[in-house]
Amino acid sequence: MLGNWLKTTILMAGILALFGAVGGMLGGAQGMILALVLGGAMNIFAYWFSDRMVLRMYNAQEVDETSAPQYYNIVRELAQRAQIPMPRVYLIDEAQPNAFATGRNPEHAAVAATTGILRLLSARELRGVMAHELSHVKHRDILISTISATIAGAISSLAQFGMFFGGRGEDRPNPVVAIIVMILAPIAAMLIQMAISRAREFEADRGGAEISGDPNALADALAKIDAFARGIPMQTAEAHPETAQMMIMNPLSGGGIKGLFSTHPNTEERIARLRAMA
């Protein structure tokens, strides 16, 4: 637990330090403030309204103990074990097995699962998955991801508009250095943001295993989801890749050097850590 939280803290400090360095080099105080205000405004809006936007995007339908009794009752039991308010429960009509949590805090949270994951997993495995999602809710990971997205977005804005807010004459940055920073800074910010997301996934695995009391259930579920999800595209996620970090498993089909640019840790390592807990 301490290791993942420490890693998240270091990465958050790193992205803030990067913002300061890029701001000082390109934008000066004026540019830094403008970029942070713009990025902050966009992400404050996302923080308050992204849950409704994402659920609508995936055409998620709210369910209850009458329409989806097993699924709903699993979430209710786990929410009681986690000592958090009962979240709203949604079902997404998608063949790919996946799930996510959203909401700005435990009092305004929602969990969603696809019809594919309900068909694929046993009740025990589904319980492990939903415990993972409720761990995200309990530890306010939406807030952490929003803060990191705010700073990353501000860095990108600063890099794009830095030349306009730099000093004059000798105070202006070297054009070659400025171009390099404008290209590399947003990439560095994105890499740090993704590393934060991976650290939070490890922490949600650990927290979910503790909530459910059954680390092997989540490990078995991850193995199944990983095997099936790769061959089943999720068109909404492909059209809106920014939502991929929310899922328990990366829903995107892209390959390449995905280790660096993935919002999710390696599945085998996740499973190994859970087996070690058991």
Give me the CATH number covering residue 234: 3.30.2010.10
Q: Does residue 74 sit within a domain?
A: yes
Q: What is the mean pLDDT of the chain?
A: 81
Q: How many other C-beta atoms are found inside a 10 Å radius of the C-beta of residue 244?
A: 21
pLDDT band at 31 (very low <50, low <70, confident <90, very high): low
**Whether residue 111 has pLDDT greater than 70:** yes
- Helix, strand, coil proportions of the chain in percent (round to 5)? 75, 5, 20
**Whether residue 263 has pLDDT greater than 70:** yes
Q: Does residue 173 sit within a domain?
A: no
Q: Does residue 7 sit within a domain?
A: no
Torsion of CA 150, 154, 160, 165, to 10 degrees: 160
* Whole-number pLDDT of residue 84: 97
Q: Extract the tokens encoding 194.
A: 């993704």
Q: Does residue 68 sit within a domain?
A: yes
The Cα–Cα gap between 7 and 19 comes to: 18
pLDDT band at 12 (very low <50, low <70, confident <90, very high): low
Range of the domain at 255: 48-146+180-277
Do 25 and 177 contact (CB within 8 A), yes or no?
Answer: yes
Q: Does residue 106 sit within a domain?
A: yes
- Most confident among 95-109, 122-136, 175-189 (mean pLDDT): 122-136
**What mean pLDDT do residues 230-247 have?**
85
Catalytic residues: 133
**Count of structural domains, the chain:** 1
pLDDT tens track for 46-81: 667 778 888 999 999 999 999 999 999 999 999 999
Q: Does residue 129 sit within a domain?
A: yes
The Cα–Cα gap between 275 and 124 comes to: 16
Strand order in the sheet with 88-92: 61-62, 88-92, 109-114, 99-103
* Whole-number pLDDT of residue 14: 67
More confident residue, 5 or 102: 102
**What mean pLDDT do residues 211-227 have?**
97
Q: Extract the tokens encoding 2.
A: 């301490």
Q: Give 208's contacts (C-beta < 8 A, 6+ positions apart).
A: 128, 129, 131, 132, 133, 134, 135, 218
Q: Does residue 67 sit within a domain?
A: yes
pLDDT band at 16 (very low <50, low <70, confident <90, very high): low
**Whether residue 206 has pLDDT greater than 70:** yes
The Cα–Cα gap between 78 and 85 comes to: 10
Q: Does residue 196 sit within a domain?
A: yes
**Whether residue 45 has pLDDT greater than 90:** no
The Cα–Cα gap between 243 and 112 comes to: 13
